[in-house]
Chains A and B, each alone.
Chain A
């Protein structure tokens, strides 16, 4: 992989939470410009911590992160204008309408007024929310909220889109709709970094996949490479082989910091 087209470079990234939980343990990887990159792993594997460190919402313990050539430690502001992030928790202002929020975000990204209006029209059409654009976000269904959150993360036409479990809790129709939007965006040249624990999602969308377990990347490659390397029939088999994931691990997020730890002593 040539150095020039690597839009994300992560080296020896680690996070140890206060109390000693090692959520991420020296992770390194690159993502090419225009690539659809999947980050898989069971709950508690460290996926969300990694993505949150990459967008500077969680402070890393060590390692380096470069996005579009900018080091996150010294050029966070330049990076913010180049990335969009649709989080696992959908962060909407319940007291505002979709149009108001899109307009506010356009303003906060310092976009020209005419450009903001163009983007609002385009995005509302893309996520099929034109008819409810002037209704308060508090009235939206789960699927509408996810789609709107996606639109919000795209208002400034980011070069890289980070998605943390974007289809969690959605019905199959809504998932399909989101997948179609993501494919379109990626086809238009946007780099997409997706964390998910849905195998079908990763298999359908991603050009390259990294599987993470217990804070480390356990395997990485294109789906074809991974199938060959692990002599598996599908991604799910690889996932189970590499992570040894079972239902108990899925139910309890073992790596998550425990807010009650101090109280329990």
Chain B
């Protein structure tokens, strides 16, 4: 068991080092969420004047949680890309013939995703706090917010890892990035459910990303008594368990 944790630790350190090499690769995923936050909060602020918009909430604060979520969403595809690179250049095979726990290889990647999500989320959260976005649930709310977001980031990163393991095709793994757009836009990211047209509202309700955004939004805007928090947490947890299970199955099957 001790060796399992040490394998996990050293593989995580190796993967975390990859995040910063090259550092420039991180900039777009940090810049874009802030860019959309600035553009949307100024261009769509009239939404807040609509009769059915939540009372006493500015549009800037309404979409602030989406900016944090988007930063994490954008970067959680990296794990699949790094996995397919390890497969393509043969490095994963080197790991597979070492006396290490194979689960540690997957957990090492997920740890990297968690660290990156925390970093990306904090880099976006800090400017939001500086411009006056208030987190109603305080410091513990931030901890809860990152718990939901990191669980979701790890679950989402599994899509890339499963595709990498099943297809070993770098182009396909990279192209998965486009999935972010329908999953992000067909939600309540830009407007509350009651302002959405019927068809959109149905799609947004089915889309699990809505629960994540609503959970994070509740922590920022509404306080601990909102049921959206527990719903967001449970959605992230269930997605995490399902997706990690599928990744482990793919890992066992793919390289034989």
Q: A residues within 8 Å of B by Cβ?
A: 55-59, 77-78, 80-81, 83, 85, 87, 89-96, 100, 104-105, 107-110, 136, 152
Q: Are A95 and B90 in contact (CB under 8 A)?
A: no
Kindly list chain B residues whose C-beta atoms are within 8 Å of the C-beta of A92. Answer: 89, 91
Nearest A residue to B256, CB-CB: A59
23 contacts between A and B (CB under 8 A): A55-B97, A57-B255, A59-B256, A80-B97, A81-B99, A85-B94, A85-B97, A87-B93, A89-B90, A91-B93, A93-B18, A93-B91, A94-B85, A95-B18, A96-B14, A104-B10, A104-B13, A108-B10, A108-B11, A108-B100, A109-B99, A110-B99, A152-B94
Bound CA–CA A136/B21 (angstroms): 10
Bound CA–CA A85/B96 (angstroms): 11
Leading 4 A-B pairs by shortest Cβ distance: A91-B90, A89-B90, A91-B91, A80-B99
Kindly list chain A residues whose C-beta atoms are within 8 Å of the C-beta of B7. Answer: 108
Nearest A residue to B18, CB-CB: A95
Kindly list chain B residues whose C-beta atoms are within 8 Å of the C-beta of A105. Answer: 94, 98
Min CB gap B203→A, angstroms: 33
Min CB gap B14→A, angstroms: 5
Q: Are A56 and B97 in contact (CB under 8 A)?
A: yes
Q: Is the interface of A mostly helix, strand, loop or mixed?
A: loop
Kindly list chain B residues whose C-beta atoms are within 8 Å of the C-beta of A59. Answer: 256
| Residue in A81, A89, A136 whose beta carbon sits within 8 Å of that of B89 in the complex | A89
Please tell me if B49 contacts chain A, counting CB pairs below 8 Å: no
Chain B: number of interface residues, binned into ranges: 20 to 34
Proximity bits, B59-96, A CB within 8 Å = 1, else 0: 00000000000000000000000000110011111111
Kindly list chain B residues whose C-beta atoms are within 8 Å of the C-beta of A81. Answer: 99
Proximity bits, B21-52, A CB within 8 Å = 1, else 0: 10000000000000000000000000000000
- Which of B89, B91, B94, B95 gathers the greatest number of chain A CB atoms within 10 Å? B94
Bound CA–CA A81/B100 (angstroms): 10
Nearest A residue to B21, CB-CB: A95
Give me 7 other A-B pairs in contact (C-beta within 8 A), A56-B96, A94-B85 excluded.
A59-B256, A89-B90, A90-B90, A91-B91, A92-B91, A93-B18, A108-B95
- Which of B21, B85, B255 gathers the greatest number of chain A CB atoms within 10 Å? B21
Nearest B residue to A136, CB-CB: B21
Min CB gap A168→B, angstroms: 13
Nearest A residue to B14, CB-CB: A104
- A58-B256, A77-B99, A110-B3 known; A91-B18 Cβ under 8 A: no
Kindly list chain A residues whose C-beta atoms are within 8 Å of the C-beta of B21. Answer: 95, 136
Please tell me if B134 contacts chain A, counting CB pairs below 8 Å: no
Nearest B residue to A94, CB-CB: B89
Kindly list chain A residues whose C-beta atoms are within 8 Å of the C-beta of B95. Answer: 108
Nearest A residue to B13, CB-CB: A104
Bound CA–CA A104/B99 (angstroms): 13
Bound CA–CA A107/B18 (angstroms): 18
Bound CA–CA A108/B100 (angstroms): 7
Near A by CB (< 8 A), chain B positions 176-190 give: none
Nearest A residue to B19, CB-CB: A95
Kindly list chain A residues whose C-beta atoms are within 8 Å of the C-beta of B92. Answer: 91
Bound CA–CA A91/B96 (angstroms): 12
Kindly list chain B residues whose C-beta atoms are within 8 Å of the C-beta of A91. Answer: 89-94
- Which of B11, B14, B100 gathers the greatest number of chain A CB atoms within 10 Å? B14
Bound CA–CA A95/B82 (angstroms): 11
Bound CA–CA A170/B5 (angstroms): 39
Min CB gap B17→A, angstroms: 7
Min CB gap A263→B, angstroms: 13
Kindly list chain B residues whose C-beta atoms are within 8 Å of the C-beta of A56. Answer: 96-97
| Residue in A77, A83, A107, A152 whose beta carbon sits within 8 Å of that of B10 in the complex | A107
Bound CA–CA A95/B17 (angstroms): 8
Nearest B residue to A138, CB-CB: B21
Please tell me if B6 contacts chain A, counting CB pairs below 8 Å: yes
Bound CA–CA A78/B97 (angstroms): 11
Kindly list chain B residues whose C-beta atoms are within 8 Å of the C-beta of A57. Answer: 93, 96-97, 255
Min CB gap B20→A, angstroms: 9
| Residue in A83, A89, A93 whose beta carbon sits within 8 Å of that of B97 in the complex | A83
Nearest A residue to B168, CB-CB: A259
Near A by CB (< 8 A), chain B positions 92-129 give: 92-100
- Which of A81, A87, A136 gathers the greatest number of chain B CB atoms within 10 Å? A87
Nearest A residue to B96, CB-CB: A57
Min CB gap B16→A, angstroms: 11
Bound CA–CA A94/B21 (angstroms): 10
Nearest B residue to A80, CB-CB: B99
Bound CA–CA A77/B96 (angstroms): 10
Bound CA–CA A94/B13 (angstroms): 15
